[in-house]
Amino acid sequence: MDERGAIERLRTIATHSAARGLIDDAAVLDGWVLTHDSIAEGVHYLPGDPAESVGWKLVAVNLSDLAAKGATPVAALLSLTLTSDDGWEAGFLDGVEQACTKFDLALVGGDTIALPPGAPRVLGLTAIGKAGAATPSRGGGRPGDRLWLIGTLGDSAAGLAELRDDPAASGPLIEAYRRPQPLLEAGAALAPDATAMMDVSDGLLLDLSRLIAASGCGAEVDLNALPLSITFIARRGDDRSARLFAATGGDDYALLVALPAEVDPNLTLCLPSAPSIACIGSLVAGAALSLTDDDGPVPLPEHLGHEHRAF
């Protein structure tokens, strides 16, 4: 069973209104936003990644889901798998502590289990946030809304590619892959105006396809408008191939936001260290996702992003 099939089956069980039909990465229950993400060795992080960065990443990816709902982090529950490597686990917990301190998240409980020798680690966290005045779903977008990206694309996927070529690689792209930054302030500021919002974790094109399916509309995206960092362009370029790599790589934890045409997030996000803000296209009538660049229409790639499938 692949990820899509599993979610379809789970929808027949998760019928409570808080589940929002499982079209979101978070549930909304009595003013609380609840999310759970797991990360697995060899899938979400490399076996050679520093344990401290794995702990940070587990917290950060969960908080990115809260950011996409405009929620304020409050508490978390940790699922910890133990092996015989005490040093790794100590480093992992150091990373968890650093992220919890940075983002004012209280660790209030969880569970621990021991793994047999050689088993890959699977680590989980449930994050709980306080909902703000508005909690946008993926399903509220309307034709005519403009699509905005807060943050950049491609850095993490490029960093992962560099690590696969050279496990000792370092630099900003590696840092983007290992230590994502949840855009909590931006999410809270945008939520009141957003008709739909989600974080980009599995790849822009795949995540956007989920947003338009939930919203019952289509989307047009200008590849040339995608926000790329200076470092990404220096390493990978900014031609069509590089931009498609950035649009499908995933692990970005940027925010994808649908806003009414009259709303400009450049005026909303008056933050001390504002992330990149780019209008990348719009929602349109229909159900299709289409891409263009300066040379004209761009065929959709075969793989829009990362979907989990059984090995």
Tens-digit pLDDT profile for residues 26-42: 999 999 999 999 999 88
Tell me: do 50 and 100 sit in the same domain: yes
Matching residue, tokens 């946030």:
129
Assess contact for 204 and 226: CB atoms under 8 A: yes
Give 309's pLDDT tier (boundaries 50, 70, 90): low
For residue 183 the two structure tokens come to 């855009």
Question: What is the domain-level CATH number for residue 89?
Answer: 3.30.1330.10
Tell me: do 246 and 183 sit in the same domain: yes
Tell me: do 151 and 98 sit in the same domain: no
Tell me: do 122 and 156 sit in the same domain: no
What is residue 19's predicted lDDT score, i.e. its pLDDT? 75
What is residue 5's predicted lDDT score, i.e. its pLDDT? 82
What is residue 196's predicted lDDT score, i.e. its pLDDT? 97
Tell me: do 186 and 103 sit in the same domain: no
Q: Compare 222 and 266 and report the one with higher pLDDT.
A: 222
In a domain, 281, yes or no: yes
Decide the pairing of beta strands 289-293 and 218-222: parallel
Q: Other C-beta atoms within 10 Å of 161: how many?
A: 17
Give 311's pLDDT tier (boundaries 50, 70, 90): very low
- pTM of the entire structure? 0.93
Gap between the Cα atoms of 297 and 77, Å rounded: 46
In a domain, 62, yes or no: yes
Assess contact for 255 and 189: CB atoms under 8 A: no
Give 25's pLDDT tier (boundaries 50, 70, 90): confident
In a domain, 308, yes or no: no
Domain boundary among 104, 130, 156: 130
What is residue 183's predicted lDDT score, i.e. its pLDDT? 96
Tell me: do 289 and 215 sit in the same domain: yes
Tell me: do 266 and 232 sit in the same domain: yes
In a domain, 181, yes or no: yes
In a domain, 61, yes or no: yes
pLDDT, tens digit, 9 for 90 and up, residues 119-168: 889 999 999 999 998 999 999 999 999 999 999 999 999 999 999 999 99
pLDDT, tens digit, 9 for 90 and up, residues 84-118: 889 999 999 999 999 999 999 999 999 999 988 88
Q: What angle do CA 230, 172, 184 make, to 5 degrees?
A: 90
Section 182-208 average pLDDT: 96
Q: Which of 192, 152, 208 is nearest to 71 (CA)?
A: 192
In a domain, 185, yes or no: yes
Gap between the Cα atoms of 212 and 189, Å rounded: 22
| Contact partners, residue 12, CB within 8 Å, separation at least 6 | none
* Number of domains comprising the chain: 2
Matching residue, tokens 């989307």:
219
Burial class (CB in 10 A: 0-12, 13-18, 19+), 246: buried
What is residue 43's predicted lDDT score, i.e. its pLDDT? 81
What is residue 307's predicted lDDT score, i.e. its pLDDT? 65
Tell me: do 124 and 164 sit in the same domain: no
Decide the pairing of beta strands 122-130 and 32-40: antiparallel
Q: What percent of the chain has pLDDT over 70?
A: 97
Tell me: do 150 and 294 sit in the same domain: yes
For residue 107 the two structure tokens come to 């660790």
pLDDT, tens digit, 9 for 90 and up, residues 204-255: 999 999 999 999 999 999 999 999 999 999 999 999 999 999 999 999 999 9
Tell me: do 175 and 255 sit in the same domain: yes
In a domain, 136, yes or no: no
Domain boundary among 78, 97, 130: 130
Tell me: do 221 and 285 sit in the same domain: yes
In a domain, 305, yes or no: no
Section 176-192 average pLDDT: 95
Tell me: do 124 and 158 sit in the same domain: no
Indicate if the pLDDT at residue 80 is higher than 60: yes
Gap between the Cα atoms of 153 and 252, Å rounded: 6
Domain boundary among 130, 162, 182: 130
What is residue 211's predicted lDDT score, i.e. its pLDDT? 97
Give 14's pLDDT tier (boundaries 50, 70, 90): confident
Three-state SS for the chain is CCHHHHHHHHHCCCCCHHHHHHCCCCEEECCEEEEEEEEEECCCECCCCCHHHHHHHHHHHHHHHHHCCCCEEEEEEEEEEECCCHHHHHHHHHHHHHHHHHCCCEEEEEEEEECCCCCCCEEEEEEEEECCCCCCCCCCCCCCCEEEEECCCCHHHHHHHHHHHCCCCCCHHHHHHHCCCCCHHHHHHHCCCCCEEEEECCCHHHHHHHHHHHHCCEEEEEHHHCCCCHHHHHHHCCCHHHHHHHHHCCCCCEEEEEECCCCCHHHHCCCCCCCCEEEEEEEECCCCEEEEECCEEECCCCCCCCCCCCC
Assess contact for 248 and 203: CB atoms under 8 A: yes
Domain hosting 264: range is 146-298
